Amino acid sequence: MILNDTKSVRIVLTKEDLENPSYDPKYKYKWNVTGGDEKQYIGHPDKDELNRHEGDEVIYFIDSLQFLSHSYEKGTEKIEQMVRQNLLKAERMIRQDLPSNLHSREKVVEWLRDNWSKKYPSQS
């Protein structure tokens, strides 16, 4: 999805991006709130831990990462494609490669930074 004002554009992930059959038809996120979630955090992160199986949390987490979410001048389609690829790369890394013992948002960010150039290097 593209959020824009009159001068700049910001690319963010959406539920539609992750449910697109051409993206990864085998993986399905949960989009419901589980019993442990606090109602005020629906669609937003739990306080400290990332639930990598809840689509809303993953989207919010990835979209909040400053090193991935860029604003740029309108009319730069190549940058838009690069940002979108980076957002999807982060989602893929979390879904497929993030060690199961990492749960805290801080540790996930640290892991993404440390492993960014090692995973899917042709897309970075």
Q: How wide is the angle at C-alpha 30 spanned by C-alphas 59 and 121, nearest 5°?
A: 45
pLDDT by residue (tens digit) across 12-63?
Answer: 888 888 888 788 777 888 886 545 544 444 444 556 899 898 898 899 888 8
pTM (two decimals): 0.73
Instruction: Assign residue 43 a region (left: φ > 0; alpha: ψ between -120 and 50; beta: otherwise).
Output: left
Q: What is the pLDDT of residue 112?
A: 93
